[in-house]
Amino acid sequence: MKKIFTYILFATLLMAGCVNLDIPPKNIVSDDDLMGSQSGLQVYLARLYSQMPWEDFKYIAQRGFDGNSWLGCLGVEGTGEAVTRDNICTSFTGESASLWGRAYTLIHDANHLIETLPKYKDNYPEATFNEFLGQGYFVRAYTYTQMARRFGGVPIVKNEIKYPFEGEIEKPRSSERDTWDAILEDWDLAVEHLPAVSTFAGTPNRFAALAFKAEAMLYAGSVAKYNENVAGRLTGLGEKTKIRVIGFAEDEWFECSNKYFSEAYKAAREVMESGNYSLYRKSWAAGDPEAQYRNMNDMWRDLTSPENILVREYEYPILSHGLDAYSSPWIYRMPLSAGTCPTEDLLELYDGFDRYADGTIRVTDGADHTLGTYLLYEHPMDFFKNVEPRLRAYVIFPGDVFKKDSIEVRTGIYTGPLPIAPLRDSYDFSQRGRFYQHMKQYTEESGQTLYLSPNVDTGPVTYTDVNTGKVVTCWAAGANGPFFSNAEATMTGLYLRKYLDPDRPLEEIGEGKSDQPFILMRYAEVLLAAAEAGVELAIAGVQSPTGDDMLQVATDAIRDIQNRAGAVEITAKLTATNNSRDIVRKERRKELAFEQKSKWDIRRWRVIDEANRDGFWGEQRDHSRWSDGSSFAFKGLYPFYSTQAGKWFFDICFENRKTFSYSPVSYYFAIPGGEVTKSEFIDQQPNR
C-alpha cells in the first residue's frame, strides 16, 4: 500500500497543480472526492498513515516525532540496551517534539473518516466499507494509546470538531481510567470492522488490531497495578477539574488491572488460535547454533516472514532512513558510526556466559571482575563461543564477521607481565569518571605497559609476536576502536547488528539511503503478551477469561521463544508468583531489545525510579552495583590484547560518559505548558 498511496498522492497533487488560473479554485478537496470512491479513500488513508506516530527508525525518543532519522539509533533512552555519544542518549522523560497537537490533528482526521464515510456507504461493498471504517478506528485507537502512555488521562474526542482545526482541544482531560476504557472501546471497534486479511498490503488487519490491543491493555493493566508500588501511590487530581488525571483510585486499581490484563490475554490468545502467524524458522535447525543465528539474523529483512503482523516498509529513494549511516561499525561510517553501542549489562541477560556467583559475566579467575587475574583467550570470539545465537544476531561481538569483514575491536594493547591483574585502580560507580587513559599503566613515561589510541590514526605499537616471532606494528585500538578521544567508534566494545543491512554495499551506505523494513508488531510479542497477562491474572487469582490453562499457555509461549532463540529453555511450568512474572519479563527484555519496546516496558512496570530499580532488567538485580542513589550508568565489555601471552582478555567497567537519572514524576510526561496556560480546562500533571 506504501507504493499505491505514494503514487496516488503524487498524481492527485500533480493534477491539483494543473489548473486554469482564471477559474476560482475550490478551497478544499471535497468529501465527494475523498470519501466517494476507493481511490479517494486510499489517498485519505495515505495521509492518515503518513502522520501515524510509529516508533521505528525515524523515531528517537528524546526528539519525539520530528520525522527525522538524523543520528539514527535504537535503545539509547536509558533502557540499558545501548548508549550513544550524543545528547539524544538520555532518560525517557519527555520529547522535544511533543505528540500532543500532532495527535489531535490525526484524531480529528480519523473522526472525520468515521463520521463521514457512512454517508457514502452505498458506494462500497459491505466488506470494503467496513475495512475503511476499521482503519479509522485503528488510527484513533493507536493514537490515543500513544497519548495515554505518555500523559495518562487525556481529552477524549470521538466526534469531529467542525471549526478550522489546528490540533487545539478545549475539553478537560478524562481520568486515566476513562481514557483507557475509551481506548479499549476503539480497539474493539477496529477488531470488529477490519478483515482477517488486509485488502491493501502494509495496512493493519483484524489480527494486527488484536495484537496492538494486547500491547495497549498490558500497559494499562501494569500502570493500574504498579502505580501502587511507587512511593506515595502514583496518582493525583488535576487542579482545574479535580479529575484523577493520572493513576487509579485506591478502590478501583485492582479491578481495573484485572480487567485490562484480561483484555490483553483474550486479544493475544485470539491471534495465537487463528493459526495465521508463527515464529520465523525458515533457516532454523535444532541443535545448530550457526543456523539459529542465521535464522534470527535473516528475519528482520524478510517481508514474507510468517512472524510479521504489521511492518513499516521503506523504499529508497521514495521513503528511506539512516540507520546504517549512523549505527554501523567504524570502518563503514557514512558519515558517522556507532550510534547504537550495546552494553555489557544487556549481555548479562543472555545465556552462555561463564558467571560469577552473583550471576555477572566472568572475566577473571577471582570472585568478581575486580579481583584475581584475567582469563585469556586465543581469539576474542572464543569468549562468546557458547552464547545463545539470538544475542549474536542482535550484537556484533569483537572479532565477529559483518559484511564479510572481521570487525576488529580492541580497546588497547597490554605489554606487561603475566598473569594480568585488573587494569583499573577502582571499578566503583563513584569512580566511573576515570578512564583507561588515566591509569598509571598508560601514563607512566618509563615502564608503560598499556597502549591506547586517542584517534583512529594514533597510538601505534610495535611488539614481537610470541606465537610467530615476527615484529608487528599496529594501531593500539585496531580498526574499530574504542578511541578515547573520538566517540564515533564503539563506546562499549560492542556494535549493533540487529536491523543493520549486512548486504548493503559500502558505496550505498549513507544518510537517508537505508530502506530495510521496520517490524512494528510481530508474533513473538503476541506470545509474550499472552504469557505476561496470563501470569499477572494468575497472581491476582483471576480465572482464565478464555477457559484455558493460562500458566501452561505462558510456559509454552516462553519455551517456544527460547527454543527458536537457541536459549536455555525453562523446564518447570510457570506459577502464579512474581518469580514467574520476572521470567516472562526477562524474556521480553531479551527478545524485543532494540525494537522501541523496552522503554515502555520499564515505564509500565514502574522499575526505573530508585526505590524500584532492582526490577529494571526484568529479573531482580541489586541496582546498587550500578547506581549511587540518584543517577545510574551502564557498563561496557572492553577487549585487550596481551603481547606477552599472545592472547586476548576482557575488562568490564562503566561507560564513563553517559549517566541517567529518573524521578517517579517522569512516569508521566508533562502536558505542553502552552496547552495548560491557554486553557481553562486542561490540567497539568499533579506535582509539576
Report the percent of the chain where pLDDT is more than 90. Answer: 85
Q: Are 4 and 198 in contact (CB under 8 A)?
A: no
Helices (H), 566-621: 578-591, 598-604
The pLDDT value recorded for residue 28 is 58
Name the nearest CA neighbour of 495 among 342, 671, 604.
342
The pLDDT of 13-42, averaged and rounded, is 61
The pLDDT of 288-295, averaged and rounded, is 98
Q: Check residues 199 and 494 and name the one with the higher pLDDT.
A: 494
Residue with grid cell 495465521, as numbered in its chain = 276
C-alpha cell at 537: 491474572
- pLDDT band for 445, please (50, 70, 90 cuts): confident
User: Which pTM was predicted?
Assistant: 0.94
Q: Are 515 and 315 in contact (CB under 8 A)?
A: yes
The pLDDT value recorded for residue 363 is 98
| Lowest-pLDDT choice from 295-309, 366-380, 428-442 | 428-442
Q: Are 526 and 370 in contact (CB under 8 A)?
A: no
Q: Which residues contact 419 (CB under 8 A, 6 or more apart)?
A: 373, 374
Q: Are 59 and 145 in contact (CB under 8 A)?
A: no
The pLDDT value recorded for residue 17 is 35
The pLDDT of 25-41, averaged and rounded, is 79
Whole-angstrom distance, CA of residue 118 vs CA of residue 114? 7
C-alpha cell at 376: 585469556
**Number of domains present in the structure of the chain:** 2
Domain that holds residue 391: 323-516+636-661
The pLDDT value recorded for residue 7 is 41
Q: Tell me whether residue 159 is in a domain.
A: no
Q: Per-residue pLDDT tens for 560-611?
A: 999 999 999 999 999 999 999 999 999 999 999 999 999 999 999 999 999 9
- pLDDT band for 507, please (50, 70, 90 cuts): confident
Work out the mean pLDDT of the chain and round it to a whole number.
93
Q: Tell me whether residue 111 is in a domain.
A: no
Domain boundary among 9, 26, 50: 50
pLDDT over threshold 60, residue 116? yes
The pLDDT value recorded for residue 18 is 31
The pLDDT value recorded for residue 20 is 31
Task: State the amino acid at position 352 in one-letter form.
Answer: G
C-alpha cell at 332: 563503514
| Lowest-pLDDT choice from 12-16, 351-355, 403-407, 520-524 | 12-16
| Lowest-pLDDT choice from 164-178, 219-233, 487-501, 544-558 | 164-178
Q: Are 345 and 589 in contact (CB under 8 A)?
A: no
The pLDDT of 630-658, averaged and rounded, is 95
The pLDDT value recorded for residue 656 is 83
Q: Tell me whether residue 83 is in a domain.
A: no
Q: What angle do CA 24, 25, 30 make, to 5 degrees?
A: 140
* Residue 90 to residues 69, 236, 673, Cα–Cα distance (Å): 17, 26, 21
Q: Tell me whether residue 401 is in a domain.
A: yes
- pLDDT band for 9, please (50, 70, 90 cuts): very low
- pLDDT band for 457, please (50, 70, 90 cuts): confident
Q: Which residues contact 200 (CB under 8 A, 6 or more apart)?
A: 1, 4, 42
The pLDDT value recorded for residue 446 is 85
The pLDDT value recorded for residue 670 is 97
| Lowest-pLDDT choice from 26-35, 146-155, 241-250, 616-625 | 26-35
Q: Tell me whether residue 609 is in a domain.
A: no
Per DSSP, the residues of 426-458 read: ---GGGTT--GGGSHHHH-SSS--EE--SSTT-
Whole-angstrom distance, CA of residue 598 vs CA of residue 539? 23
Q: Tell me whether residue 478 is in a domain.
A: yes
Q: Check residues 201 and 338 and name the one with the higher pLDDT.
A: 338
Q: Which residues contact 51 (CB under 8 A, 6 or more apart)?
A: 102, 105, 106, 109
Q: Are 450 and 412 in contact (CB under 8 A)?
A: yes
The pLDDT value recorded for residue 11 is 39
Task: State the amino acid at position 211 in one-letter form.
Answer: A
Q: Tell me whether residue 271 is in a domain.
A: no
Q: Per-residue pLDDT tens for 332-352?
A: 998 899 999 999 999 999 999
Q: Per-residue pLDDT tens for 427-438?
A: 998 887 778 999
Helices (H), 289-361: 289-298, 323-327, 344-347
The pLDDT value recorded for residue 332 is 95
The pLDDT value recorded for residue 8 is 40
- pLDDT band for 162, please (50, 70, 90 cuts): low
pLDDT over threshold 70, residue 19? no
User: In terms of C-beta distances under 8 Å and separation of at least 24 residues, what long-range contacts does 294-300 make, across chains too?
Assistant: 295/389, 295/564, 296/389, 296/390, 296/393, 296/394, 296/564, 296/565, 297/393, 297/497, 297/502, 300/498, 300/499, 300/516, 300/517, 300/519
The pLDDT value recorded for residue 430 is 84
The pLDDT value recorded for residue 168 is 63
Whole-angstrom distance, CA of residue 395 vs CA of residue 352? 14
Indicate if the alpha-carbon torsion angle 200, 204, 208, 210 is positive or negative: negative
Largest CA distance in the chain: 89
Q: Are 103 and 140 in contact (CB under 8 A)?
A: no
The pLDDT value recorded for residue 165 is 55
The pLDDT of 170-199, averaged and rounded, is 96
The pLDDT value recorded for residue 238 is 96
Q: Tell me whether residue 581 is in a domain.
A: no
